[in-house]
Amino acid sequence: MNAVLRITGLALVALLAAPVSIPQALAADDVEAISSDLTLIFRAARKMISDNQDLINDPSKGDKGLSATAVVEQTKANYKTATGKDLDLSDDGSPAAKARIAMIEAVRATMDEAQPLINEQGKGFKGFLPAVFGGRVASNFSAAMAGTFAIKLTAPKAYVRNRANRPDEWENKVIETMFKQPGYEKGKAYAEAVPVKGKPAYRYILPEYYGASCLGCHGDPKGEIDITGGKKEGAKLDELGGAISLIIYQ
Ligand code: HEC
């Protein structure tokens, strides 16, 4: 009886304390805004890699001109096209500003590190794909923001190629019981305040779908070997293919 009362008491305290523990600059709507913004920056950067895939895979060229600076500049341009506004990278000391800057720095670090690989002359396919780029940006960002923000590229369990991208329990639940349901509004993010490994957190997850350009690797016939040496998933056009998942620790 006592134990029950104590647990209930703790749960109540946790519930009441939750909004108070959100950093001032990240209260209420701000958490949703920065989540959406970070996924937009991530996608704007990844688009630069998809748009240049043929160039990256070209064995006849050495220097591809895809320096960190060039990719960051194009990321800003893609962001502006997608949102209609300039990417604000000013540092007002807020967690949101720090996270935006860290995302751009993660893109920069990923591209600096990738130079020898993508500039190798005489080699065609180099395995430097949007999802690989995205995975590296995500881990660079999450390492830099450890304990405050984390981002990850994931996918429906049945479609995951890289084990590091497997959905966790919460991601899997959202993907299977919401994103995959026929009535779910396409492209709509889902957010929830839910603890991660015992720490209070705000989670945000954005679904992504296979376009025509994805199906050469992820489409039919299922099981056929694609250019990367992996097995095609047999996915269909516009089917749910992945999700960008963000954690903001509170
Ligand atoms: C050239 C082949 C190729 C194309 C084209 C391609 N992918 Fe992939 N995709 C891969 C490979 C290989 C991986 C595993 C990457 C890794 O090892 O991290 C992957 C990983 C992913 C992941 C991360 C989850 C996982 O399985 O590890 C998502 C999400 C994804 N792809 C979605 C897409 C979407 C959406 C498109 C089109 C816009 C696309 N892919 C185009 C080959 C491809």
pLDDT value at residue 3? 43
Which of 100, 116, 146 lies at the terminal end of a domain, its last residue? Answer: 146
Burial pattern 199-218, b for ≥16 Cβ within 10 A else e, equals: ebbbbbbbbbbbeeebbebb
For the CA of 215, the nearest atom of ligand 1: 5
Which of 146, 161, 195 lies at the terminal end of a domain, its last residue? Answer: 146
Using CA atoms, how far apart are residues 75 and 72, in angstroms rounded to an integer? 5
Contact 209, 225 (CB under 8 A): no
Same domain, 135 and 158: no
Same domain, 130 and 90: yes
Asked if residue 8 is part of any domain, the answer here is no
Same domain, 243 and 165: yes
23 CA to middle of ligand 1, Å? Answer: 35
pLDDT value at residue 29? 72
pLDDT value at residue 16? 44
50 CA to middle of ligand 1, Å? Answer: 11
The structural domain count of the chain equals 2
101 CA to middle of ligand 1, Å? Answer: 26
Same domain, 191 and 142: no
**Structural domain boundaries, residue 47:** 24-146
Same domain, 90 and 164: no
Q: Is 100 exposed, middle or buried (0-12, 13-18, 19+ CB in 10 A)?
A: buried
Same domain, 134 and 155: no
62 CA to middle of ligand 1, Å? Answer: 25
pLDDT value at residue 241? 97
| Residues in contact with ligand 1 (CB, 6 Å cut-off) | 129, 131-132, 135, 153, 155, 159-162, 165, 208, 210-211, 213-214, 216-218, 226-228, 230, 241-242
Per-residue pLDDT of the chain (250 residues; tens, 9 = 90+): 344 444 444 444 444 444 444 444 466 578 999 999 999 999 999 999 999 999 999 999 999 999 999 999 999 999 999 999 999 999 999 999 999 999 999 999 999 999 999 999 999 999 999 999 999 999 999 999 999 999 999 999 999 999 999 999 999 999 999 999 999 999 999 999 999 999 999 999 999 999 999 999 999 999 999 999 999 999 999 999 999 999 999 8
Q: Looking at residue 166, which CATH number applies to its domain?
A: 3.30.450
Asked if residue 18 is part of any domain, the answer here is no
pLDDT value at residue 27? 64
pLDDT value at residue 30? 87
pLDDT value at residue 26? 60
Q: Kindly state the tokens that stand for 22.
A: 């959100």
What is the model's pTM?
A: 0.89
At residue 215, φ and ψ (nearest 5 deg) are -75, -20
Going edge to edge, which strands form the sheet with 149-154? 149-154, 240-249, 201-209, 190-193
Asked if residue 63 is part of any domain, the answer here is yes
Q: How many CB atoms lie within 10 A of CB 242?
A: 24
Same domain, 135 and 30: yes
Using CA atoms, how far apart are residues 114 and 128, in angstroms rounded to an integer? 8
pLDDT value at residue 5? 41
Same domain, 30 and 138: yes
Same domain, 108 and 177: no
